[in-house]
Amino acid sequence: MPRYDAVGFDLLTALLDTLPLWRSAAGDDELGTRWHTANQRLLKGQPYRAFDDLVHESARELGLGRAHATTLLSRWGEAQPWPDTRRALVALGDTPRFVVTNCSQKLGERAAKQAGEFAFVMTAEQAGAYKPDPRPYLAALAAIGMDAKRVLFVAGSAHDVGGAARVGMDVYWANRHGAPTPDDAAPLVHASDLSKLAALLDG
Protein backbone atom coordinates (compact mmCIF):
# COMPACT_ATOMS: atom_id res chain seq x y z
CA MET A 1 0.00 0.00 0.00
CA PRO A 2 1.25 3.54 -0.72
CA ARG A 3 2.54 5.35 2.32
CA TYR A 4 0.52 8.48 1.45
CA ASP A 5 -2.74 9.00 -0.39
CA ALA A 6 -2.07 12.62 -1.38
CA VAL A 7 0.72 15.20 -1.45
CA GLY A 8 0.43 18.89 -0.64
CA PHE A 9 2.96 21.45 -1.79
CA ASP A 10 4.14 24.86 -0.80
CA LEU A 11 4.08 26.68 -4.13
CA LEU A 12 6.19 29.82 -4.01
CA THR A 13 9.39 28.23 -2.66
CA ALA A 14 9.18 24.45 -3.05
CA LEU A 15 7.88 24.36 -6.62
CA LEU A 16 8.61 27.81 -8.07
CA ASP A 17 11.69 30.02 -7.94
CA THR A 18 9.95 33.31 -7.19
CA LEU A 19 12.85 35.34 -5.79
CA PRO A 20 14.05 36.42 -9.26
CA LEU A 21 10.70 38.19 -9.78
CA TRP A 22 11.17 40.27 -6.63
CA ARG A 23 14.72 41.14 -7.64
CA SER A 24 13.74 42.06 -11.18
CA ALA A 25 10.79 44.19 -10.07
CA ALA A 26 13.00 46.00 -7.55
CA GLY A 27 15.69 46.59 -10.14
CA ASP A 28 18.37 45.36 -7.75
CA ASP A 29 19.09 41.85 -6.45
CA GLU A 30 19.92 42.82 -2.87
CA LEU A 31 16.97 45.19 -2.60
CA GLY A 32 14.62 42.62 -4.11
CA THR A 33 15.73 40.03 -1.58
CA ARG A 34 15.12 42.47 1.27
CA TRP A 35 11.70 43.31 -0.18
CA HIS A 36 10.72 39.65 -0.22
CA THR A 37 11.91 39.26 3.38
CA ALA A 38 9.93 42.32 4.48
CA ASN A 39 6.81 41.01 2.80
CA GLN A 40 7.20 37.63 4.52
CA ARG A 41 7.50 39.38 7.87
CA LEU A 42 4.25 41.29 7.31
CA LEU A 43 2.17 38.26 6.44
CA LYS A 44 3.68 35.30 8.32
CA GLY A 45 1.02 33.63 10.44
CA GLN A 46 -1.30 36.65 10.28
CA PRO A 47 -5.04 36.84 9.56
CA TYR A 48 -5.55 37.45 5.87
CA ARG A 49 -5.13 40.97 4.57
CA ALA A 50 -5.13 41.55 0.83
CA PHE A 51 -1.86 40.20 -0.49
CA ASP A 52 -1.58 43.01 -3.04
CA ASP A 53 -1.77 45.54 -0.21
CA LEU A 54 1.03 43.80 1.67
CA VAL A 55 3.24 43.82 -1.43
CA HIS A 56 2.73 47.59 -1.72
CA GLU A 57 3.25 48.10 2.02
CA SER A 58 6.52 46.16 2.07
CA ALA A 59 7.69 48.06 -1.00
CA ARG A 60 7.10 51.38 0.75
CA GLU A 61 9.09 50.18 3.77
CA LEU A 62 12.14 49.89 1.54
CA GLY A 63 11.59 53.11 -0.34
CA LEU A 64 10.28 51.42 -3.48
CA GLY A 65 7.53 53.09 -5.46
CA ARG A 66 4.04 51.96 -6.37
CA ALA A 67 5.28 51.03 -9.84
CA HIS A 68 7.65 48.43 -8.40
CA ALA A 69 4.83 46.65 -6.58
CA THR A 70 2.50 46.89 -9.57
CA THR A 71 5.19 45.41 -11.79
CA LEU A 72 5.77 42.49 -9.43
CA LEU A 73 2.08 41.66 -9.17
CA SER A 74 1.54 41.90 -12.92
CA ARG A 75 4.39 39.43 -13.51
CA TRP A 76 3.34 36.92 -10.83
CA GLY A 77 2.43 34.34 -13.46
CA GLU A 78 5.98 34.41 -14.85
CA ALA A 79 7.59 32.62 -11.89
CA GLN A 80 9.54 29.65 -13.21
CA PRO A 81 9.53 26.14 -11.75
CA TRP A 82 12.75 24.78 -10.35
CA PRO A 83 14.51 22.41 -12.80
CA ASP A 84 13.33 19.33 -10.89
CA THR A 85 9.74 20.42 -10.26
CA ARG A 86 7.94 18.95 -13.24
CA ARG A 87 9.94 15.74 -13.11
CA ALA A 88 9.01 15.30 -9.45
CA LEU A 89 5.33 15.90 -10.17
CA VAL A 90 5.34 13.40 -13.02
CA ALA A 91 6.87 10.83 -10.66
CA LEU A 92 3.80 11.13 -8.44
CA GLY A 93 1.73 9.41 -11.12
CA ASP A 94 -1.95 9.47 -10.19
CA THR A 95 -1.38 10.47 -6.57
CA PRO A 96 -3.60 13.50 -5.88
CA ARG A 97 -1.64 16.67 -5.33
CA PHE A 98 -2.65 20.13 -4.13
CA VAL A 99 -1.10 23.49 -3.25
CA VAL A 100 -1.23 25.56 -0.06
CA THR A 101 0.17 29.02 -0.69
CA ASN A 102 0.49 32.44 0.94
CA CYS A 103 -1.13 34.79 -1.56
CA SER A 104 -4.47 35.73 -3.11
CA GLN A 105 -6.61 33.20 -4.93
CA LYS A 106 -6.09 34.91 -8.27
CA LEU A 107 -2.31 35.00 -7.94
CA GLY A 108 -2.09 31.52 -6.45
CA GLU A 109 -3.98 29.94 -9.33
CA ARG A 110 -1.97 31.93 -11.86
CA ALA A 111 1.36 30.85 -10.39
CA ALA A 112 0.32 27.22 -9.91
CA LYS A 113 -0.20 26.85 -13.67
CA GLN A 114 3.54 27.39 -14.06
CA ALA A 115 4.27 24.27 -12.01
CA GLY A 116 1.68 21.77 -13.20
CA GLU A 117 -1.82 20.42 -12.60
CA PHE A 118 -3.29 20.21 -9.10
CA ALA A 119 -6.57 19.07 -7.60
CA PHE A 120 -6.95 22.54 -6.09
CA VAL A 121 -5.01 25.60 -4.93
CA MET A 122 -5.66 26.56 -1.31
CA THR A 123 -4.63 30.15 -0.67
CA ALA A 124 -4.33 32.33 2.39
CA GLU A 125 -7.21 34.37 1.00
CA GLN A 126 -9.51 31.37 0.83
CA ALA A 127 -8.48 30.05 4.25
CA GLY A 128 -8.57 33.46 5.97
CA ALA A 129 -4.99 33.38 7.27
CA TYR A 130 -1.39 33.12 6.16
CA LYS A 131 0.77 30.09 6.90
CA PRO A 132 1.98 28.86 9.32
CA ASP A 133 -1.39 29.58 10.91
CA PRO A 134 -3.11 26.17 10.90
CA ARG A 135 -6.14 27.34 8.92
CA PRO A 136 -4.69 27.00 5.39
CA TYR A 137 -3.42 23.47 6.07
CA LEU A 138 -6.66 22.40 7.73
CA ALA A 139 -8.73 23.88 4.92
CA ALA A 140 -6.66 21.92 2.41
CA LEU A 141 -7.09 18.67 4.35
CA ALA A 142 -10.83 19.26 4.47
CA ALA A 143 -10.90 19.92 0.72
CA ILE A 144 -8.94 16.75 -0.10
CA GLY A 145 -11.06 14.77 2.38
CA MET A 146 -8.21 12.77 3.91
CA ASP A 147 -6.73 12.24 7.33
CA ALA A 148 -3.57 14.25 7.92
CA LYS A 149 -1.54 11.10 8.52
CA ARG A 150 -2.29 9.95 4.98
CA VAL A 151 -1.05 13.21 3.44
CA LEU A 152 2.57 14.27 2.92
CA PHE A 153 3.32 17.98 2.82
CA VAL A 154 6.27 19.29 0.81
CA ALA A 155 7.53 22.44 2.50
CA GLY A 156 9.68 25.08 0.88
CA SER A 157 9.95 27.68 3.63
CA ALA A 158 11.16 26.76 7.11
CA HIS A 159 7.90 27.95 8.71
CA ASP A 160 5.97 25.38 6.64
CA VAL A 161 7.78 22.55 8.44
CA GLY A 162 6.21 23.35 11.79
CA GLY A 163 2.97 24.60 10.29
CA ALA A 164 2.21 21.38 8.46
CA ALA A 165 3.54 19.13 11.22
CA ARG A 166 1.34 20.75 13.84
CA VAL A 167 -1.81 19.68 11.99
CA GLY A 168 -0.54 16.11 11.74
CA MET A 169 1.10 15.84 8.32
CA ASP A 170 4.52 14.35 7.72
CA VAL A 171 6.79 16.91 6.09
CA TYR A 172 9.34 16.69 3.30
CA TRP A 173 11.41 19.89 3.42
CA ALA A 174 12.92 21.01 0.12
CA ASN A 175 15.29 23.54 1.66
CA ARG A 176 16.36 25.16 -1.59
CA HIS A 177 17.87 28.27 0.00
CA GLY A 178 19.77 26.52 2.79
CA ALA A 179 17.68 28.05 5.59
CA PRO A 180 18.50 27.19 9.22
CA THR A 181 16.60 24.22 10.62
CA PRO A 182 13.47 25.42 12.44
CA ASP A 183 13.33 24.79 16.17
CA ASP A 184 9.58 24.12 16.34
CA ALA A 185 9.45 20.86 14.35
CA ALA A 186 11.58 18.36 12.45
CA PRO A 187 10.81 17.26 8.89
CA LEU A 188 10.62 13.59 8.04
CA VAL A 189 13.04 14.31 5.18
CA HIS A 190 15.34 17.32 4.87
CA ALA A 191 16.73 17.73 1.35
CA SER A 192 17.97 20.53 -0.88
CA ASP A 193 15.46 19.73 -3.66
CA LEU A 194 12.74 17.23 -4.61
CA SER A 195 15.07 14.40 -5.64
CA LYS A 196 14.19 12.19 -2.66
CA LEU A 197 10.43 12.65 -2.93
CA ALA A 198 9.60 9.74 -5.24
CA ALA A 199 11.53 7.25 -3.11
CA LEU A 200 9.69 8.41 0.00
CA LEU A 201 6.33 7.94 -1.69
CA ASP A 202 7.28 4.46 -2.88
CA GLY A 203 8.17 3.53 0.69
- 47 shares its domain with 84: no
Looking at the structure of the chain, the number of domains it has is 2
pTM above 0.85, yes or no: yes
Under DSSP, the state recorded for 12 is I
- 118 shares its domain with 173: yes
pLDDT in tens, the chain (203 residues): 568 999 999 999 999 999 999 999 999 999 999 999 999 999 999 999 999 999 999 999 999 999 999 999 999 999 999 999 999 999 999 999 999 999 999 999 999 999 999 999 999 999 999 999 999 999 999 999 999 999 999 999 999 999 999 999 999 999 999 999 998 899 999 999 999 998 888 75
- 145 shares its domain with 155: yes
pLDDT, residue 203, reads 58
List, in order, residues 6 or more apart from 103 with CB less than 8 Å away.
12, 51, 76, 111, 123, 124, 125
Residue 65: which domain range? 19-77
Let me know: does 108 contact 11? Beta carbons within 8 Å: yes
pLDDT, residue 138, reads 98
- 193 shares its domain with 99: yes
- Is residue 59 domain-resident? yes
- Is residue 47 domain-resident? yes
- Is residue 1 domain-resident? no
- 69 shares its domain with 119: no
- Sign (positive/negative) of CA torsion 140, 112, 116, 30? negative
List, in order, residues 6 or more apart from 171 with CB less than 8 Å away.
152, 153, 154, 155, 160, 161, 164, 165, 185, 187, 188, 189
- 64 shares its domain with 124: no
Q: How many CA atoms within 13 Å lie on the side-chain side of 61?
A: 17
For residue 91, the domain's CATH number is 3.40.50.1000
- 153 shares its domain with 174: yes
Let me know: does 152 contact 143? Beta carbons within 8 Å: no
Region of 176 on the Ramachandran plot (φ > 0 left; ψ -120 to 50 alpha; else beta): alpha
- 24 shares its domain with 107: no
